[in-house]
């Protein structure tokens, strides 16, 4: 029994000290390692990165082509003689759009592909953190269930000896046997749950589903401090992809309008006049879309801020409770040293303390996920 107590004490210390102070070695999974694997192997990120590079290439080609465009006319060669053909206003307008507007349109397409990749990375990062948290919970739940099984097995063996000595009844032995069988069933269920969560975790990372880890480390500090709401709102209005893209679309429409107005004679063409009137309407619609995008962003930001704020308060409360639990377990250990409590009672208290340590680690990790989500929502987006 002393050996079991020593094992539980050691496990309690390992789970309660900061991860960065624990001895390195073995196949250990940290959040930093998981994040690197996501960005290195996830197929969605790879595909979007390729699409971004293709958009960049198309933009660069558009810039090169635009430099060679003559908006005034073109020169043809007939019988070794060059003949200059001047464009009318309508054609000059179209050629000017191709020279000045088309490269900006392709650049906008490139920017959109960049934003799409960043937002996908943000969304996948949050999904991975949720899976990481589930895996951390399953991993430690299995370890605790194994400890409870070992404790139940030790108690049952003691009861077998006590029964032989006539210290307990057959019913007492049956109860400890039932507790042992129950602990075994819970341990097996915890093991199956860990296997299922690990499989889903590996699938997101595009790793072999059989990939496993000796230990899974928690985070030991806040991702970032929570700032005032106005800070995130100002940031979101500047960096959110929906707003930036809507504003860039308006800019492109204004550029097109400016080009068309440089060639007033072209407005005599019915189709061009119609296009111009439609363009004026599109500009007003786009302005309304920008305002709507800002409102939508603010609604989502408020929700993310409230979640993060509540998570921070919950984590702070859990930290206070953890300090109380730590004080209680230290008192229990001293009482055991003085012979005031039994070894079984101490062992059960140690396991309960481990469970609370894991609960705190999970609360902190979830809080950091919400803080990170808030940073994404007030940045490019998700």
In a domain, residue 66? The reply is: no
The span from the CA of 381 to the CA of 373, in Å, is 9
Where is pLDDT greater, at 9 or 328?
328
Cβ atoms within 10 Å, residue 53:
12
Q: Which of 67-81, 276-290, 368-382 has the lowest mean pLDDT?
A: 67-81
pLDDT at 81: 83
* SS3 state at 38: helix
The span from the CA of 155 to the CA of 177, in Å, is 9
Reported for 63-70, long-range contacts at CB under 8 A and 24+ positions apart, including other chains, are 63/103, 63/106, 66/98, 66/99, 66/100, 66/102, 66/103, 69/95, 69/98, 69/99, 70/95
In a domain, residue 204? The reply is: no
In a domain, residue 269? The reply is: yes
**228: which DSSP letter?**
-
Look at the block and give the residue holding tokens 């759009």.
97
Contact 318, 360 (CB under 8 A): yes
Tell me the two tokens of residue 349. Answer: 């208290």
Which pTM does this prediction carry? 0.86
pLDDT tops 70 at residue 14: no
Q: Which of 176-180, 264-268, 274-278, 322-326 has the lowest mean pLDDT?
A: 264-268
Instruction: Tally the domains of the chain.
Output: 1
Tell me the two tokens of residue 223. Answer: 């991702």
* SS3 state at 84: strand
pLDDT tens track for 302-356? 999 999 999 999 999 999 999 999 999 999 999 999 999 999 999 999 999 999 9
The span from the CA of 90 to the CA of 105, in Å, is 21
The span from the CA of 293 to the CA of 100, in Å, is 28
pLDDT at 80: 80
Look at the block and give the residue holding tokens 């008192």.
331
User: How confident is residue 51, by pLDDT bands cut at 50, 70 and 90?
Assistant: very high
Share of the chain above pLDDT 70, in %: 93
User: How confident is residue 83, by pLDDT bands cut at 50, 70 and 90?
Assistant: confident
In a domain, residue 189? The reply is: no
The span from the CA of 182 to the CA of 149, in Å, is 8
pLDDT tops 90 at residue 1: no
In a domain, residue 342? The reply is: yes
Residue 276 belongs to a domain with what CATH number?
1.20.1600.10
pLDDT tops 60 at residue 195: yes
pLDDT at 4: 40
Phi and psi of 174, rounded to 5°? -65, -35
Task: Please give the sequence-ordered ranges of beta strands (E in DSSP) within 24-168, or none if there are none.
Answer: 28-29, 73-78, 81-86
In a domain, residue 86? The reply is: no
Structural domain that includes position 363: 223-382
- 77 forms beta bridges with 82
pLDDT at 160: 95
Where is pLDDT greater, at 9 or 55?
55
In a domain, residue 372? The reply is: yes
Contact 117, 52 (CB under 8 A): yes
Contact 137, 358 (CB under 8 A): yes
**Summary mean pLDDT of the chain:** 92
pLDDT tops 60 at residue 97: yes
pLDDT tens track for 139-182? 999 999 999 999 999 999 999 999 999 999 999 999 999 999 99
Tell me the two tokens of residue 196. Answer: 């299922």
């Amino acid at each position: 029994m002393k050996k079991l107590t020593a094992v539980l004490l050691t496990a309690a210390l390992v789970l309660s000290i900061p991860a960065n102070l624990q001895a390195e070695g073995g196949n250990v999974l940290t959040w930093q390692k998981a994040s690197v694997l996501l960005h290195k192997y996830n197929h969605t990120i790879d595909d979007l990165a390729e699409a971004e590079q293709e958009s960049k290439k198309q933009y660069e080609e558009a810039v090169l082509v635009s430099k060679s465009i003559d908006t005034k006319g073109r020169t043809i060669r007939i019988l070794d003689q060059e003949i200059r053909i001047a464009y009318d206003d309508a054609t000059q307008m179209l050629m000017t759009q191709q020279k000045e507007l088309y490269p900006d349109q392709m650049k906008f397409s490139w920017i959109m592909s960049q934003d799409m990749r960043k937002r996908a990375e943000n969304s996948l990062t949050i999904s991975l953190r949720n899976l990481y948290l589930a895996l951390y919970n399953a991993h430690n739940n299995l370890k605790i269930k194994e400890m409870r099984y070992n404790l139940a097995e030790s108690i049952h063996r003691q009861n077998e000896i006590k029964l032989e000595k006539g210290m307990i009844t057959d019913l007492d032995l049956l109860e400890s046997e039932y507790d042992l069988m129950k602990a075994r069933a819970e341990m097996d269920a915890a093991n199956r749950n860990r296997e299922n969560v690990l499989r889903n975790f590996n699938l997101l990372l595009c790793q072999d589903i059989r990939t496993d880890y000796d230990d899974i480390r928690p985070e030991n500090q806040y991702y970032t401090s929570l700032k005032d709401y106005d800070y995130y709102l100002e940031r979101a209005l500047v960096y959110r992809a929906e707003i930036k893209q809507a504003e860039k679309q308006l800019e492109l429409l204004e550029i097109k309008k400016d080009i068309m107005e440089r060639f007033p004679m072209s407005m005599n063409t019915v189709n061009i006049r119609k296009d111009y009137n439609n363009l004026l309407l599109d500009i007003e619609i786009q302005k309304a879309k920008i305002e709507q995008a800002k409102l939508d962003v603010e609604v989502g930001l408020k929700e993310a801020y409230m979640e993060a704020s509540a998570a921070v308060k919950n984590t702070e409360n859990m930290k206070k409770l953890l300090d109380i639990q730590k004080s209680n377990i230290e008192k229990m250990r001293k009482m055991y040293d003085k012979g005031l409590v039994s070894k079984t009672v101490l062992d059960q208290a140690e396991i309960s303390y481990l469970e609370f340590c894991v609960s705190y680690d999970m609360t902190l990790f979830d809080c950091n996920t919400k803080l990170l989500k808030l940073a994404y929502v007030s940045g490019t987006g998700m």
